[in-house]
Amino acid sequence: MAPETMSLTRAGEYEWRIEPTGDMRVPAILYADETLIREMDDKVFEQARNVATLPGIVRACYAMPDAHWGYGFPIGGVAAFDAEAGGVVSAGGVGFDISCGVRTMLTDVEAPHIRRQQRELAEALFKKVPAGVGSHGAIRLSIEEMHDMLLGGADWAVRSGWGEACDLERIEEHGCMKSGDPAFISDKAKTRQRPEMGTLGSGNHYLEVQEVNEVFDEAAAEAFGLTLGRIVVTIHCGSRGLGHQVGTEFLAEMAVAAKEQGIALPDRELACAKINSELGQRYLGAMWAAINCALANREIIGHFAREVFDEIFPGARLDLLYDVSHNTCKVERHVIDGEEKSLFVHRKGATRAFGPGHPDLPAGLKEIGQPVLIGGSMGTGSFVLAGTTTSEDRALSSACHGAGRRMSRHQALKSWHGRQVVDDLAAKGIIIRSRSARGIAEEAPGAYKDVTAVVDATEHAGLAKKVARLVPLVCIKG
């Protein structure tokens, strides 16, 4: 093993620990099998140790099976902080794409019907949903509309005609972070977002038409509405330019303020502020408003997908299974050392995974657990998992969020050409549409870890259980 890996202690077949040394306040705990651990870049272990030094951290810093190097926190990193114990909030622990997340919608269309009109559907979705770097849509928000969107999230989108009221029950926070404060978001961030509502953006963001091709848990699949051969639509995107601008501005401000607040940073990218400080409260207000932006954005894109399906398959229904983010910091109640506490839980590239009986779940999901939506690499398939009761103790009700990169975008460009990737996937019956051949090469399936291995490790570690596997038929890429 590499030098960094040697610092790990194996605590179980799927659990590894870095015990506190130096300035670490808590251990770092990583969930993965041995192969995934060996494939993780050493920077993951260094970053997990660094997070464990931050003031007010509770229990441990966690890393999910898909963990890889990120800005500040490892992507796949989870950490909770106690404000009453001097805890901090870190913009690097949320990321630049605030509230990047996944929405899965159930259709009443069967796979054979999709295959007969696959190309027509791909072209219509590609035309309807703008994607790519700097992509702009038909929606232009006024100053007043921007303010209302940042306050209302998906609820605002529904009230504005882009969505259905029944969706809100199946979105985290019922579609709206009520503590979001647009006053703490800069004019520059708002200006960047004005033409970007209803757009996918670039990188690993996508809209996929997928077929349910394997069911692992019959009871959970039935509760979720997932049956073999059924078509679902999955959307992966976030808060676009607004979220990136919020992250950029507050990271710079936090880097300066940390020293003033007496916080010793092991890495400048872990820039943070005390939760109860003026800066900490401003960031939380801005970040929660950016979550509303992402929730509204996915609601609008879901509305566009419904319009396209209705044009090609008249009368088709697209009902929301769930919408959940994986780049957030939220206030949650967790039991720590026998005492229930209100904590600020950072999840960066990690998905909330509430188990059965959790009070925040709607009636139709409470008995099974929260749907945990896991995107795979382009062309290789995705998974729907369900939260478990054991995940609370294991990792603060958290699970993986995707396959996780195994090579950088630069390395991927050296290995693949966009046209080659499109042709290879077309031979497998998958239509890819994108405006960027470079972007396709950067997101080639081989650039990612084996999503099945990641999901299996997640299940064996007790973080979430497998419900169904989805395979793509159409993929609209950023």
Give percent above pLDDT 90 in the chain.
Answer: 85
- At 4-36, the pLDDT tens digits run 555 899 999 999 999 999 999 999 999 999 999
Q: How confident is the model at residue 435 (pLDDT cuts 50, 70, 90)?
A: confident
Residue 267 pLDDT exceeds 90: yes
- At 182-240, the pLDDT tens digits run 999 999 999 999 999 999 988 889 999 999 999 999 999 999 999 999 999 999 999 99
**Distances in Å between the alpha carbon of 288 and those of 74, 120, 397?**
21, 38, 20
- At 438-471, the pLDDT tens digits run 888 888 888 888 999 999 999 999 999 999 999 9
- Mean pLDDT value of segment 336-363: 96
Give percent above pLDDT 70 in the chain.
Answer: 99
Higher per-residue confidence, 449 vs 277: 277
Residue 105 pLDDT exceeds 50: yes
Residues known to be catalytic: 401
pTM score of the predicted model = 0.96
Structural domains present in the chain:
5-406+448-477 (3.90.1860.10)
Per-residue model confidence (pLDDT) at position 5: 53
Higher per-residue confidence, 425 vs 310: 310
- Mean pLDDT value of segment 417-425: 88
Per-residue model confidence (pLDDT) at position 120: 98
- Mean pLDDT value of segment 277-301: 98
**Distances in Å between the alpha carbon of 473 and those of 119, 178, 307, 347?**
10, 37, 19, 30
- At 61-104, the pLDDT tens digits run 999 999 999 999 999 999 999 999 999 999 999 999 999 999 99
Residue 269 pLDDT exceeds 80: yes
Per-residue model confidence (pLDDT) at position 356: 97
Per-residue model confidence (pLDDT) at position 131: 82
Residue 1 pLDDT exceeds 50: no
